[in-house]
Structure 1
């Protein structure tokens, strides 16, 4: 069974972690402010490569961002690449940096 959980401290810094059969297999390092959900890094255990876990994590953070009326700042190379590859899926939440089209 796969489960994704937010694991945040009192300042809303931490991660969204993916567990398979209660074993942590991946995570996205994030922070949340009143208006912005920032993703810094995505990591998936090598043993889980090719299982689509990064995509599942991305789907979960996008869902969270929309549900909480936030904008998402994709500083993580994986998330940024997905946003650039599929802008039509994320244009409503994508907080672009200066110079980004």
Structure 2
């Protein structure tokens, strides 16, 4: 079942990750930015949030943020790679 009422995804630049907190659990996507490219290298979803769409919401918002900042995106994380394959609307971000 997909959760529709998630809170806001926030960028935590001090920890180089996007975070989505739900009921005290935090899903995260770690990244680094070099030469105008945001590379996502790790995504983690706590067991309590799995199957609720938290990781998809997190990555969707992170990709929108990259677009707003004029960054290209590279993924080495398997979840983000799969997400990008399922969502061609983000093809313009390929870097």
Q: TM-score range by the shorter chain?
A: 0.7 to 0.9
Aligned to 2:94: 94
How many residues are treated as equivalent by the alignment? 90
Q: Comparing both structures, which one devotes a greater share of its residues to strand?
A: 1
> Whose Rg is larger?
1
Could you tell me whether the CA contact under 8 Å between 1:17 and 1:24 is conserved in 2? Answer: no
Stretches of structure 2 that go unaligned for 5 or more consecutive residues are 1-5
1:3 corresponds to which of 5, 8, 20: 8
Aligned to 1:16: 18
**Higher relative CO (CA 8 A, sep ≥ 6), structure 1 or 2?**
2
In the TM superposition, what is the alpha-carbon distance from 1:85 to its structure 2 partner?
Answer: 3.2
Aligned to 1:35: 36
Could you tell me whether the CA contact under 8 Å between 1:3 and 1:20 is conserved in 2? Answer: no
Q: TM-score, normalised by structure 1?
A: 0.79
Q: TM-score, normalised by structure 2?
A: 0.83
**4+ runs deviating over 2 angstroms:** none
Q: Comparing both structures, which one devotes a greater share of its residues to helix?
A: 2
